[in-house]
Chains A and B, each alone.
Chain A
Amino acid sequence: MKKNWWKILGVVLVAHALISGLLLDVPRLDILNETIRNLYFHVTMWFGMIALLTASVVYAVKYLRSGNIDFDDKSISFAKIGTLFGMLGLVTGSVWANFTWGEPWSGDPKQNASAICMLIYFAYFVLRNSLQDEQQRGRVSAIYNIFAYAAMIPLLFILPRLSPDSLHPGNGGNPGFNIYDLDIKLRGVFYPAIVGWTLLGVWIATIQFRIRSVSRALEDN
């Protein structure tokens, strides 16, 4: 029980995001209106994704330094769940964009950047599957994982900010969360929601990891 407190915390925080996020009062902004609630579900996915992919890279580095196959299992588990969060972020964003921008895909710089980011991780999975030997697969995919992460940083943090014509709230004169108000009501749900979704992602990733290591142990016997 002592070890599992963070799982309970995660469930409580996600429940908070779901219940308070859908029921509490939100500030009324032009265009956004009620869709501002997507802040708790869409934006938090990106924070969760970056946290999970960072964990994946950290384990990739650990694997390269030690050669312990457990670290490789952890790395791929985190990468998978991180990609899942990224896909969910794209889907929730598209649904939201359909109502606010009028179409699900409008070539927004941030949309493009995240789509490319997904392509990188799909390529990572293809690379993993094309290698047969366990240790070599771990090593080569860890190298690509680190390299891709290093190349992703300019993608996610620099490029969208370079072009001022992003449609996202807060960019290019659109009503935003930061300009007008990320007021106390939003913050009270938004920050816990980030932590909650991330913890949930970590939990799923650890289950993934345990399934992997159990099936590996079964294969070896």
Chain B
Amino acid sequence: MVSQVLVLIKKELLSEWRQKYALNGLILYIISTVFVCYMSFGVKTGTIDKVTWNALFWIIILFTAVNSVAKSFIQESHGRLLYYYSIAKAEAIILSKIVYNSLLLLVLSLFGILTYTLVMGNPIQNLLLFLTAVILGSIGFASSLTLISGIAAKASSSGTLMAILSFPVILPLVLMVIRLSKNAMDGIDLSASTDEVLILLAINILIGAASFLLFPYLWRS
């Protein structure tokens, strides 16, 4: 089981590396979105207010996440899915996809922070806490969006479906992450935000467990 997961993660990383256009596309997606926000607010760096800065950042990350995770099942060809089905356990597939998507989202969000702070200013006072929020957010996004992309892949018009299925489900997570990163921006110490961190962890575990348990049924059909 563990070895299967490791092999699958390695395969995901390799195929991502060999078809760089997908990753490059996502990176360009972040840059363009950040730049659109920067231009449309028409502000000099650092003049945008904190709440807007924070919300805008997470909206960009949310849309990037939906776009990047969507390809994990929707863009795979039917034949290749059938091949995975014959060689690996369903649990191994979902675990490897979640881990891989978490890594991907983490890299993308870190890159997002970099470009975003570059043009929109950097009001973050407690960077460590902000990074905690980013890590927990990436894992949570990955675990819920992976299952939903599997669901959406079964239906026609999966692009729209992906968005409408995932947004309401992911909203509690987004709200908690925004709250936590707002604390980080205000420079509040980690010890004062343990509630938020614990709730985020709990939501992640809940969603992860639900994905893990439900995916085998989805995989079978």
Contacts and interface: CB of A to CB of B under 8 A. Distances in A.
Given A140-B155, A150-B210, A123 B168 contact: yes
A215 B193 CA distance: 55
Given A146-B210, A154-B172, A140 B151 contact: yes
B207 interface: yes
Interface stretch (B28-36, B52-60, B157-165): B157-165
A64 interface: yes
B169 A151 contact: yes
B210 A140 contact: no
A120 B172 contact: no
A191 interface: no
A119 B168 contact: yes
Contact of A143 (B157, B167, B199, B218): B218
Interface string A144-161: 101110110111001100
B221 A140 contact: yes
A152 to B, nearest CB: 8
Interface in B192-210: 199, 202-203, 206-207, 210
Residue of A120, A143, A162 with highest tally of chain B CB at under 10 A: A143
A148 B169 contact: yes
Interface in A93-137: 116-117, 119-120, 122-123, 126-127, 130-131, 135-136
A135 B157 CA distance: 19
B135 to A, nearest CB: 19
Interface string A162-175: 10000000000000
A130 B156 contact: yes
B175 A144 contact: no
Contacts of B199: 154, 158, 162
Given A126-B164, A155-B171, A150 B155 contact: no
Contacts of A80: none
A64 to B, nearest CB: 5
Given A119-B168, A127-B161, A147-B214, A154 B154 contact: no
B211 interface: yes
B147 interface: yes
22 contacts: A116-B168, A117-B168, A119-B167, A119-B168, A123-B165, A123-B168, A127-B151, A127-B155, A127-B165, A130-B156, A130-B157, A130-B161, A131-B155, A139-B217, A143-B218, A144-B165, A146-B214, A147-B148, A148-B168, A151-B207, A155-B172, A159-B172
Interface of B: 144, 147-148, 151, 154-157, 161, 164-165, 167-172, 175, 199, 202-203, 206-207, 210-211, 214, 217-218, 220-221
